[in-house]
Amino acid sequence: MKSALYSRFFILLPWVLIVVIIIDSDTRKPSSSSRLPSARHYSPYWNRRVGRSALMRPQPSDTSVGTWATHQEQVSIPGVQKMKNDTLPIIYAITPTYSRPVQKAELTRLANTFRQVAGLHWIVVEDSPQPTELVNRFLARAGVRATHLHVPTPRRYKRAGLPRATEQRNAGLTWLRQQYQTQLLHRQTTAPGSSPHLPNISGVVFFADDDNTYSLELFQEMRTTQKVSVWPVGLVGGRRYERPVVENGKVVGWYTGWRADRPFAIDMAGFAVSLQVILSSPKALFKRRGSQPGMQESDFLKQITKVDELEPKASNCTKVLVWHTRTEKVNLANEPKHPQDTIKIEV
């Protein structure tokens, strides 16, 4: 009886082992749905330039401007080389940001959106005298092609009621102009006779504050901007939304609850400008002098376009694809004055 049991056990044992080995090797193989995108796609190490030097002295060799086929493909003349699947204008998102408890959370939210947008180049401009370690480290791991600049807001302008981030947005514009100017000069010397009129430079510039909420559809809409495009913005101006009023494909007025007499009654998040326009109006900047609160957008747009030239997006300005969300001031009432934890943690 006992020997019969033993012999059955030894006959079954090899089969049991084979089944165990097959199951084990199967679970080690990643399933196609759970496989992570290749590291190449997520490689955070785009060519980035850091700090004031990036603002002051762009180099022709700076490869942080380029067109997009894969994230790595760089060309010497921005916007000129055809991508594998046709030319996709680069979207330059200029984001002013400043140090505060929620900064990393805001930037994380933005990066999670921007990472999903093809051909997006994030120009992050810190309101600080030096680039901070936090933003530096953050961008290195964000998986978004980015340029890191910084410029401090003069103390006299850091007051309630005054426009914010004027210097930072201008620094982003200046950087872009310097990049392309250097590239074009370089091209003219290496390929004399080519047109000096900025041909084939396709790109779109957009001002993306760090606390707003952006849908992916918004980037599809702005990508086709010819000169200046506009669309509604949610949760702004004391209303559920503001929007350009469109008739027969033209902007004819503004639906807004606040100062409807503004020439362009639109929030910073409600428009995009083609790179061609930015480059061909080299003096167009955000103004401090003479600018009243809430007039930054109008003062800037007046320099580059007219209301009847505006290109309405988002189904003739009937869809909200961006929200002027504002983050609540964080409660740190229980934060100790002096560190009590045994380790230092970046938040």
* 312 annotated as belonging to a binding site for a ligand: no
Question: x/- contact string, 92-131, with ligand UDP (CB under 6 A)?
Answer: ---xxxx----------------------------x----
62 binds, among ligand UDP, Mn ion, none (CB under 5 to 8 A by kind): none
d(CA 230, CA 310) in angstroms, rounded, equals 7
- Bridge partners of 124, per DSSP, are 95, 148
* 240 annotated as belonging to a binding site for a ligand: no
Closest residue to ligand UDP using C-beta atoms? 165
d(CA 178, CA 107) in angstroms, rounded, equals 25
d(CA 145, CA 206) in angstroms, rounded, equals 15
Question: x/- contact string, 191-230, with Mn ion (CB under 5 A)?
Answer: ------------------x-x-------------------
209 binds ligand UDP (CB under 6 A): yes
Annotated catalytic residue within 242, 297, 311, 335: 297
Let me know: does 106 contact 97? Beta carbons within 8 Å.
yes
Strand boundaries in 2-110, DSSP class E: 90-97
Question: x/- contact string, 125-164, with ligand UDP (CB under 6 A)?
Answer: --x-------------------------x----x-----x
Whose tokens are 């009243």? That residue is 292
Distance of closest approach, residue 230 Cβ to ligand UDP, in angstroms: 17
Question: 29: which DSSP letter?
Answer: S
Let me know: does 231 contact 314? Beta carbons within 8 Å.
yes
Is 297 one of the annotated active-site residues of the chain? yes
Footprint on residues 244-283 left by ligand UDP (CB under 6 A): none
Distance of closest approach, residue 211 Cβ to Mn ion, in angstroms: 4
79 binds, among Mn ion, ligand UDP, none (CB under 5 to 8 A by kind): none
Cβ within 8 Å of residue 169, ≥6 positions away: 94, 96, 125, 207, 286
Three-class DSSP category at 335? coil
**Count of CB atoms within 10 A of residue 258's CB?**
13
Distance of closest approach, residue 264 Cβ to ligand UDP, in angstroms: 16
The number of C-alpha atoms within 13 Å of 329 and in the hemisphere containing its C-beta is 2
| Contacting positions for ligand UDP (CB under 6 A) | 95-98, 127, 153, 158, 164-165, 168, 209-211, 326
Active-site amino acid positions:
297
Which residues are annotated as part of the binding site? 96-98, 127, 164, 169, 209-211, 324-326
